[in-house]
Structure formats: C-alpha cells, structure tokens
A and B are shown apart, each in its own frame.
Chain A
Amino acid sequence: MNPTPSSTQFPVPQLGNSQSGATPAEFLEFLRSLPLQYLGDHCRRIPSGDKPAWVTIVNGLTDHFLGPFPLPGVVSWNAMQEKGEMIEATLDVVQRVFLRVDGIYNHSLELVQKLFARLLDLCRVLDVWMGTIQDTVDSQLMPLGLRESALSVLVSVLRGLGSNNPTPDQQSSWKSLRDILKAGLEVCRGNSCFSLIYS
C-alpha cells in the first residue's frame, strides 16, 4: 500500500511489513475498525482537508484487495474465504469514505474510474464463481453476497458522482458520470474507446 500522508490521524498497518508485523487477521481487524472509529453513522463528517489521506487509503485498498480475483479452477472457494472477508471490509470502507468525506469526488475521477473497472471485474469473476459452488456451509461468505455488495458499492459511488457539486475548475460531475457509463456501454457495442499503438 502507498505510504499515507502525514495528515493521517491513525497508524496504518502494512501487510507483509516485517517491522509492523501485521498479520492478515490484524489488518482485517484494522479495516473493520475504520468504520467504527472514523466512518460510522455516529461519527462527524470528515472535512475536505483530510481527503488526501482517505484517497490514498482507498487507492491502496483498491490496488491490493480489489485487484484480479482468481477464477474457479485455480483455487477452491474455501481457500478464498480470507480474501473474501478482506474484500468485504474494503468495500465497506470504500463506500463509507465516498459517503462521509467532504469533497471526495472533486478531482478524483481517476479513482472512480479505477473503482469502476475493478468492481465490474470483481462482479464478473464472482458471477463465474456462482455457477460452480455446490456444497456450502452456512457461515461461509458466498459469491452472491459479495457480488451484491460490490455492485451496491459501485452504484453508490457512481450515483454519488452524479449528485456531486464540483469545484469551478473541474469538469461537471454529470459529464464524468456520463463518460464512465458511456465507456462501459460502448465496449458492449464493440466500439472500443482506445487504440493500440505499437512502437
């Protein structure tokens, strides 16, 4: 994960860092503590001055936990339980950051685009998983629930973008939302929105 700016008010454990020594379980606990301490409904809204720290956190979480999810056949669903729990906690943090940090949408188009791509891809892979799981345990995290969470968070972020009041020096929010949705719909129509250039 990228180092957090100095304005961050809390220490962020680093996975795989021998100095902090945070295990996946500890990091999961940290992720679950964020909504309780800073992003809960009872907490005051986070001022825009703290936005860079939260953008960095969302960026890092997106890169690490919303990256490519293994397809069925590579691993079993049971082996993905811990990753699934990480993703679930990440989705909760991402959704709450976009709801509770003032000005989070301003100049954050790239972050929203990245979330759009990552969550679409996650939903796709979970859809593939859904058709493969036969035996389930009640306490298990299931692909359907995780997919619904990912889809809800993505829709929440996009609708928030559409309802945002941008600063005068940036593109209108409706244009940003329109561009993102159009890019997705265009690719379904076979109209690729990019060209490949070979050196």
Chain B
Amino acid sequence: MPSASLSDCTVIALFAKPNILTVETQELSRSVGCLYFSFAKEIKHLKDLESNPSNIVVDSASQVPVLMTVILEVAVRTIHPALKCDCFLTDIFRMTIDLARSLLLYCIGPSCPAISTTRLQCISNIITATAALRRLPGCTLSIGSLPERLFQIRLECGLTFDWDVIDRLLLDVFQNESDLPISKELFYLAVKKLGDNDAAPHGMQVCIHIRLMNTSFLIEGFSGAPLGIFTPRTANSRS
C-alpha cells in the first residue's frame, strides 16, 4: 500500500474488506473520493493518471463496487474454462475466489458507499459470475457456499434492501444448482424467519425449495442425529 508517496493526499477512507484507498488531493479540483488504477509503476502527478488511456479514474466512491465487480467478472471469465497456461494462474484463481468472497461481504456491509440498487446489481453480478466456479471440484467450500452465506445474511441482516431481488436470485441459483451445500441450521432459520411471512413471497419459495432439497435432514434432525452439513438431495432424486 502506498504511504509516504501519498504525502500530498489526504486519506479519506481505508475500507476493511476489501481495502480500497480513496484520496483527496489539492491537485484535483474536485474533492470526491477517487480510485485510481494504473499499469505504470511511477506517476509524477495525479493528473497524469487521467490523461493516460491505460489508467482508470473513478470519480465517485459509490462506483468503486461496480468497477470491482466488473474486474471480478473479467477475471472469472478469463480463467474459466481453463486455459492451456492454467497451471501458471493458480494464484490468480485464488485471488479471484478471495475477491468474490470479500466483495460480496463488502457490497452487503455498511462500508459499501453505493446506493442499494447498485449494491443489489453488484451482488447479483457476483453470484451470477461465480456460478461457473461453484461447479468446479474443490471449490465447494470456498465459493460454493456464497449463495448460502447470502441467504443467511438475507435472513439475519436488517439492512433496507429490496430483498425480493435477492430472493429471486437465490431461488434461481438453488433451482439450477441443486447440489449446493445448505446447512440444516440455515433451513431452520429460513422457516423461522420466512415461514409465515407473506411479505416475502420469493423468500418463501426459496424456503420451500430448500426444504425439497433437504428433506433427508428433517428426518435425521428429528431422530436426534447430530447437527452438521448434509448432502443435499434434489426433488427429482428423491422421487
């Protein structure tokens, strides 16, 4: 992270996850937070950043999550399906997965400066973009649990989102990816929170769909089996 070289700038905020440095400088006439991206190693003036077409200058901090989501989408679609140089990109793969997880939490969390519609759009793009990675062997724990975590946050979080958008997204994900891991604790929480909630029709549908996926753990749960992660079953496989 640059420190001494940014002595002429005032650090406005350094978000926890992911770390985004926003600066305000007297050199620029505006005083809004900016995110700068450049391939150059050394830049003499901030205005050089704006004049070079290989650089990106984001005027408003509220657009930072949007740019990061686009970067995530590009990274995912570039590394998957696997290239022939795939073995040299393992660190990129890992960084991409880390970004997906931290970006989802960032977009949901209170430090995200974007308005709710933008955040919902970013969340949808993150979940959709990582769908291909969720099917990869070995990615179940790292990225396969993202929809489950989103659903858990949706149930527990009190943010003023239009949750119906998220509910519809999750319903779509759970219907298309029926082998995603869902814990029984989350199911119980869903029943408790959404079971009788007429105001969240799509949330109720998610709840019902998860119930169809996981009927086995209901039986095991009621018979006193220890709690844990169940192997999900689809409605089709049960019949």
Seen from chain A, the residues whose Cβ lies within 8 Å of a Cβ on chain B are 62-63, 67, 71, 110, 113-114, 116-118, 120-121, 123-124, 127-128, 130-131, 151, 154-155, 158-159, 162-163, 172-175, 177-178, 180-185, 187-199
Contact = CB atoms under 8 A, between A and B. Distances in A.
Contacts of A67: 53
Contacts of B56: 117, 120-121, 124
Interface string B52-91: 0111101100010011111111110111000111001101
A195 B55 contact: no
A151 B91 CA distance: 22
Majority secondary structure of chain A interface residues (helix, strand, loop or mixed): helix
Given A181-B75, A185-B95, A162 B42 contact: no
A87 to B, nearest CB: 14
A61 to B, nearest CB: 12
B1 interface: yes
A124 B58 contact: yes
A191 B89 contact: no
Contact of B41 (A123, A188, A193): A193
Interface residues of B, number: 60
A197 B42 contact: yes
Nearest to B20: A190
Interface string B101-128: 0010000000000000110010000000
Contacts of B21: 190, 192
A21 to B, nearest CB: 27
A57 to B, nearest CB: 15
A17 B9 CA distance: 42
Interface of B: 1-2, 5-9, 14-15, 18-21, 35-46, 53-56, 58-59, 63, 66-75, 77-79, 83-85, 88-89, 91-92, 95-96, 98-99, 103, 117-118, 121
A69 B97 CA distance: 30
B238 to A, nearest CB: 37
A181 B1 CA distance: 18
A174 B75 CA distance: 14
Nearest to B16: A190
Contacts of A124: 56, 58, 63, 66-67, 70
Contacts of B14: 190
A113 B6 CA distance: 25
Contacts of A187: 35, 37, 71
